[in-house]
Amino acid sequence: MTQPSGPGGGLPGQSRVVLVTGASAGIGFHTAREIAARGASVLITGRDRRRGKDAVRAIAAAAGHARVEFIPADHSTVGVNGQLGEAVTERLGVLGLPPRLDVLVNNVGGIFATRTLTADGYEATLAVNFLAPVVVTHSVLPLLQASASPRCVNVTSSLAWLAREVPGDLLADIHTARDYVGIRAHARAKLLTAAWTLAMSRQQAGTGMAAAAVNPGMAWTAMTQALTPQVVPSWRYVYPLVRLFQKRGDPARAARVCAEVAWTGSLAEISGRYITEHGKPGRYPGVVADPAFQDQVVAVAWDLARDAATAAGHRGRP
């Protein structure tokens, strides 16, 4: 991949500003650390303030500069996600930076073992893995539009391919009121995120903004450590083997592919692409490439964002 020049004609990396969601631990933390080490100013989010502050210290120490800020945010609600743009603008001010974001990495994700509802009354796996990236992106869009070469990197998963196990229409029973299985809910949410990424890349064509989906590959993180045979029933007979394989997944290595997509490559190399854990363009699950399906996915996101109980103050179409 070729390195683009830095916005404003500066040296590549020197003046870029990057937001990574869910980055006080796991793959997001390593992505933020890698990008900060390349010279970017980095903002990270997470729920736990202490973990966030510890992460800021570790990232700043590794990067050798102090342009690292933590924004406390629980990405499970539309209300918080819809207000992230304001919080980011405020933190950029603290860093003495103008209201501009060059890269957004929608990293936050998770799998809930049992069906859980958010404060919006939405199924949590869908809310955190799909709706959060959509609403966060909409919220910070004016900041991205202030960049000379903005990009939006959405962290998905090869598990999206398992969405074929979701019974019936992929957009029916969107909150999985019937037969909740964590891995299926996660697979569908990641597939919807991939479809929305392609819709965004179509919508943004000609504006100079790149949107890509990336699969970091397996990593031993809080999310994988919390998996049980209940979450992934199809693995129950090979579970010890799967665990062995998962434990070997280094989150720093997984983060490298996210950082690469966030940092390098031209618009044409990145936009609309699904980048695999090997850093190469890969194939989306079939239905994802269908523009009619992508439009349906965007409409679903719009309805969910509009109707959310916490949506007061959230305006406009995601």
Least distance (Å) from ligand NAP to the CB of residue 246? Answer: 7
H or E stretch at 70: strand 68-72
27 binds ligand NAP per the rule CB under 6 A: yes
Q: Which residues contact 241 (CB under 8 A, 6 or more apart)?
A: none
Angle between helices 26-37 and 49-63 (to 10 degrees): 30
**Contact with ligand NAP (CB under 6 A) among 15, 201, 221, 310:** 221
155 binds ligand NAP per the rule CB under 6 A: yes
Look at phi and psi of residue 91 and say left if phi exceeds 0, alpha if psi is from -120 to 50, else beta.
alpha
Interaction mask 113-152, ligand NAP, x per CB under 6 A: ---------------x------------------------
Interaction mask 80-119, ligand NAP, x per CB under 6 A: ---------------------------xxxx---------
Name the burial class of residue 58, with classes exposed (0-12), middle (13-18) and buried (19+) by CB atoms within 10 angstroms of its CB. Answer: middle
What is the spatial distance between Cα 42 and Cα 185, in angstroms, rounded to a whole number?
Answer: 31
285 binds ligand NAP per the rule CB under 6 A: no
Which residue, among 196, 208, 253, has the nearest Cα to 26 in the 3D structure? 253
**Contact with ligand NAP (CB under 6 A) among 157, 176, 201, 204:** 157
What is the spatial distance between Cα 277 and Cα 215, in angstroms, rounded to a whole number?
Answer: 5
What is the spatial distance between Cα 59 and Cα 170, in angstroms, rounded to a whole number?
Answer: 39
244 binds ligand NAP per the rule CB under 6 A: no
What is the spatial distance between Cα 161 and Cα 190, in angstroms, rounded to a whole number?
Answer: 9
Instruction: Please name every residue paired with 211 in a beta bridge, in sequence order, or none if there are none.
Output: 152
Q: Smaller CB distance to ligand NAP: residue 50 or 168?
A: 50
Q: Smaller CB distance to ligand NAP: residue 2 or 114?
A: 114
189 binds ligand NAP per the rule CB under 6 A: no
46 binds ligand NAP per the rule CB under 6 A: yes
What is the spatial distance between Cα 48 and Cα 105, in angstroms, rounded to a whole number?
Answer: 19
Q: Smaller CB distance to ligand NAP: residue 110 or 150?
A: 110
Q: Looking at 4-12, 68-76, 265-273, 282-290, which segment touches ligand NAP (CB under 6 A)?
A: 68-76
- Phi/psi for 219 (5° steps) reads -145, 145
28 binds ligand NAP per the rule CB under 6 A: yes
What is the spatial distance between Cα 60 and Cα 35, in angstroms, rounded to a whole number?
Answer: 11
Name the burial class of residue 47, with classes exposed (0-12), middle (13-18) and buried (19+) by CB atoms within 10 angstroms of its CB. Answer: middle
Least distance (Å) from ligand NAP to the CB of residue 110? Answer: 5
76 binds ligand NAP per the rule CB under 6 A: yes
182 binds ligand NAP per the rule CB under 6 A: no
Least distance (Å) from ligand NAP to the CB of residue 87? Answer: 12
Residues contributing to the site for ligand NAP (CB under 6 A): 22-28, 45-48, 51, 73-76, 107-110, 128, 155, 157, 215-216, 218-219, 221-224, 249, 251
